[in-house]
Structures are given as structure tokens and as C-alpha cells.
Amino acid sequence: MEKPGLFDVKISDISSTMLITLYCRALESRSRNPIINDPEAVRIADTINSRLAGSGERLYRDLAQGKLDKKLTTFISLRARRFDDYARAFLSGNPGGTVVNMGCGLDTRFWRIDDGKMSFYDLDLPEVIEIKRKLCREAGRYHMIASSVLDYNWLSLLKNETGGPVLFLAEGLVMYLEKKDVRELVLKLQSSFPGSELVCEVVNESVAHGWLKAAMNMRLQRQLHLGRGAMFLSGIRDGREIESWSPGIRLIDEWSYFDSSEKRLGPARFIGAIPWMRRVQWTVHYKLG
């Protein structure tokens, strides 16, 4: 389903989710004691705010007025900070390495983590990159790739530019893809860049197909006012499942929102004591050997 879009570029329901995460980081950055400090997110939100305010879309108008669930802002900020930390740790072990931010949306990680040596690629669907190019400038070690992550030509192009080591990030992406596509993507990353790493947020199968599916979709559509096209399509049983897709894949670690001692999670922190709740939506980190 198409939405009216930004700068006369139509945006699909799935891509509209990038505005929510952008505004979460921008609002958080403006708060006292922010979990994440993201001046570029603030700049972009300020730049597009009047366009969203005049939109026919309820989601866009809510964002422009700063109407965002506080818990969601906390969760998204914790996730972005954790992904930043994964990237920094990778770059400290692999100076001058390459980071590929798949399904980047309007994320501004390059400016948050740049160490002056790395190469950084932001990849998203062509309409998203068309918008992002109006808001951010490609230069030097920062590049954008306008492609579906599932159109694998981008991997050949990347291979021409870097031999590795590469860290692939997928923050809020793979749950919107079919499982067979996620499997194929992971295997392509592995065969194109053996020895690379993948950090990927996933949801449990029960969220994509089981008893939690209705609750999750209701949250996406009724609470966040996203269109019907924004739906979780795939999940995994546990972090070991992706290891079983190929002998060289090794699970390095997993991270749950509840691993954070952030006080603003409030009573939600205690949910982390229930093991399966830690694996409803969480992050997995692999070596693709």
C-alpha cells in the first residue's frame, strides 16, 4: 500500500516505519540524560517536520507533533545505542573495516560512530535513498546504495569496492521479509564475504506466525497508525536456528532490551526475568565463516 510520501517520493507502509525510528532518536536526543545523542537525527526531523505536519497521514502528523510512545522511544534508543556499540567494537578489532547498514531508513549511524577510518554503506529501497539523498550528503567514506537488500547485485558492487572485513547490520529489517528471503540473504552474505559478521534484530516465530501475531499487528496498525503493509512476516525459534542454515555460521552473542539496566524501562525491566520474554524481539550476532 502506498503512502503520500516525502519530497513527492511515495513511501510504502514498511518504509514509513523509518520515520518512527528517526523521531524516536531525535526526541530522545532532545531529552535530559538521553540514551543516545544524535544531532543529525534532530537536524533531519527539523527539516522534514513541516512537511509531515501538513500530511494527510495520521502517523506523520503525530510524529510532527512529537506524539510518540515514551517506552517505544526508550526501546528504539537502546537498540540504536547497542547497534552503535556493536559497530564500534567491530571497528576497533578491524581498523579501517566496512560497515553496511541494511534497511538503513533515515538512520544517521555514520555520524554517530565515524572513527575517521572506516567505510560505511547505507542501503535501503530506491525511494528511501532518494529521500535520504535530499537530506544527507554522500562523501568520502560514506556511501548510499539504492536497492532492495534482496536484489543481490549490490553485493557484487560492494565486492568491487571492498574485500572486507565487513560488518552487516540489520536493525528493524528482517522481520518484514519472508523467511525464505532472510535465509537466502544470510547465505549470500556468507558466500560473498566469508569471515564477515552479521548483527540482526529478529522476532520470535510466535510474533510472526503464532499467538502473538495479532497483538503485534494491532500495535503496528492501531497504536502506531502504520498501514497494513507494515507487518512482521518472519521470525525464528532461537538464535541457534540461523546457525543451522550453514556449517560456517556461528552465533557469537545475543542481546535483549532487558539486558539494559535502563531505569526508564520501569516495570518492563522485570519482564526480562522471564526467559522467553527476552526472546520475543531481540538481537543476534553471528560470524559468517
- Residues in touch with ligand SAM (CB under 6 A): 14-15, 17-18, 21, 103-105, 107, 124-125, 128, 148-150, 171-173, 176
Least distance from ligand SAM to the Cβ atom of residue 172, Å: 3
Residue placing its CB nearer to ligand SAM in the complex, 64 or 128: 128
Strand partners, 249: 288
Task: Go through 56-91 and write b for each residue having 16 or more CB atoms within 10 A of its CB, e for each that does not.
Answer: ebebbebbbeeebeeebbbbbbbbbbbbbebbeebb
Least distance from ligand SAM to the Cβ atom of residue 267, Å: 25
3-state class (DSSP) for residue 36: coil
Least distance from ligand SAM to the Cβ atom of residue 9, Å: 12
Residue placing its CB nearer to ligand SAM in the complex, 34 or 248: 34
What Å distances lie between residue 199 and 85, 187, 251, CA to CA?
11, 14, 10
Residue placing its CB nearer to ligand SAM in the complex, 52 or 149: 149
Least distance from ligand SAM to the Cβ atom of residue 270, Å: 26
Residue placing its CB nearer to ligand SAM in the complex, 132 or 279: 132
Residue placing its CB nearer to ligand SAM in the complex, 86 or 176: 176
Q: How far is CA 24 from the centre of its chain?
A: 13
3-state class (DSSP) for residue 89: helix
Least distance from ligand SAM to the Cβ atom of residue 146, Å: 9
Residue of closest CB approach to ligand SAM: 105
Grid cell locating 97: 573495516
The count of other CB atoms within 10 Å of the CB of residue 247 is 8
